[in-house]
Amino acid sequence: MSVPFEIEVEELDRRRKAGDDLFLLDVREGWEHDLCVIDGSALIPMHSVPGRVAELPIDRDIIVVCHHGGRSAQVTMWLRSQGFDRAINLDGGVDSWARRIDPNMKVY
């Protein structure tokens, strides 16, 4: 089964509501995470991911999240190069999530 490189926020919302076993990896900085967060996501800032890669599940879809999707795309590519074939970038990041899924979430 081929895993797509990116997922739209609507598809992530659908999969979460369906109870899919997803690991949400937030690669933003701590101050960004303090402003807003998708419930259930684990914070590992981008620069810390290589040193904390052992904390990530190899056998689950890892949805990589940042502000707009740029940093998370870089982390997704790196994770895939490290054998995490189920790493998936969240297209548009928390900004798209706030604007299209959770209107109560703060945007910045």
Dist CA 63 CA 6 (whole Å): 9
Nearest to 24 by CA among 57, 67, 63: 63
Half-sphere exposure (Cβ direction) of 91: Cα atoms closer than 13 Å:
11
What is the set of active-site residues? 66
Nearest to 8 by CA among 103, 106, 81, 99: 99
Dist CA 10 CA 1 (whole Å): 21
Domains of the chain: residue spans and CATH: 6-100 (3.40.250.10)
Q: Which two tokens stand for residue 78?
A: 């790196």
Band (1; pLDDT cuts 50, 70, 90): low
pTM for the whole structure: 0.96
pLDDT in tens, 30-63: 999 999 999 999 999 999 999 999 999 999 999 9
